[in-house]
Amino acid sequence: MDSRDIYHEMIVDYSRNPANFGRLENPDVTHHDANPLCGDSIDMDLKIDDSVISDVKFHGRGCAICMACSSVLTEITKGKTLDDARSISKNDVLEELGLERLQAIRIKCALLSLKTLKMALYKYITEHMTEDADSLKDEAAGLY
Ligand code: FES
């Protein structure tokens, strides 16, 4: 089995059994976003303790790539400080699933959850740490 087969299998597995799928009780911040091309949407809930993301879950609907990238992103995000979560890049997500050469039309599928995470962080930081808010909003806006 070559690496492309392994990545394909990972995407299929995550789409059938997404990681960290569901809702958090009493999240500290939640954000909803949608892919304007297909109407698929996800919500992301974060629990934040002492500037550390102690838990994260997502729910909603999306294609296999969207579900796999959302799963991987939540796995990467859990346990990170807010600063470290802010620096998660699109390549961090795409590389986990061998999607670095994804067609432009599928990029929005792959990055919907990252955009949702960045906007959730923006919302939280706006409410709690106003000095960092503007730069984070620019990061989220520049993802696509
Ligand atoms: Fe809707 Fe991929 S086709 S998120």
Instruction: Tell me the per-residue pLDDT of 87-144, one tens digit each, with 9 for 90 and over.
Output: 999 999 999 999 988 888 899 999 999 999 999 999 998 888 766 667 777 777 777 7
Is the pLDDT at 58 greater than 80, yes or no?
yes
User: Which atom in ligand 1 lies closest to the alpha carbon of residue 62?
Assistant: 4
Tell me what pLDDT residue 56 has. Answer: 98
> When comparing pLDDT for 28 and 140, which is higher?
28
Structure pTM? 0.89
User: Which atom in ligand 1 lies closest to the alpha carbon of residue 39?
Assistant: 1
Distance 111 CA to ligand 1 centre (A): 10
Contact 114, 75 (CB under 8 A): no
Break the chain into its structural domains and give their ranges.
3-141
Q: For ligand 1, which residues put their CB under 6 angstroms from it?
A: 35, 38, 40, 62-63, 65-66, 109, 112
Distance 1 CA to ligand 1 centre (A): 27
Is the pLDDT at 72 greater than 70, yes or no?
yes
| Assigned token pair, 34 | 């949608």
Distance 102 CA to ligand 1 centre (A): 13
Task: Round to whole Å and give the CA distance between 123 and 46.
Answer: 11
Task: Round to whole Å and give the CA distance between 49 and 77.
Answer: 14
User: Kind and range of the H or E element at 68?
Assistant: helix 64-77
**pLDDT band at 38; cut points 50, 70, 90:** very high
Which of the residue ranges 5-9, 56-60, 108-112, 127-131 would you say has the lowest mean pLDDT? 127-131
The tally of CA atoms less than 13 A away on the side-chain side of residue 114 is: 27
Tell me what pLDDT residue 132 has. Answer: 65
> When comparing pLDDT for 144 and 41, which is higher?
41
Distance 11 CA to ligand 1 centre (A): 13
Contact 19, 52 (CB under 8 A): no
CATH of 3-141 given 3.90.1010.10, 3.40.50.720, 3.30.70.120, 3.30.390.30: 3.90.1010.10
Minimal-distance CA residue to ligand 1 atom 3: 63
User: What percentage of the chain has pLDDT greater than the value 90?
Assistant: 76
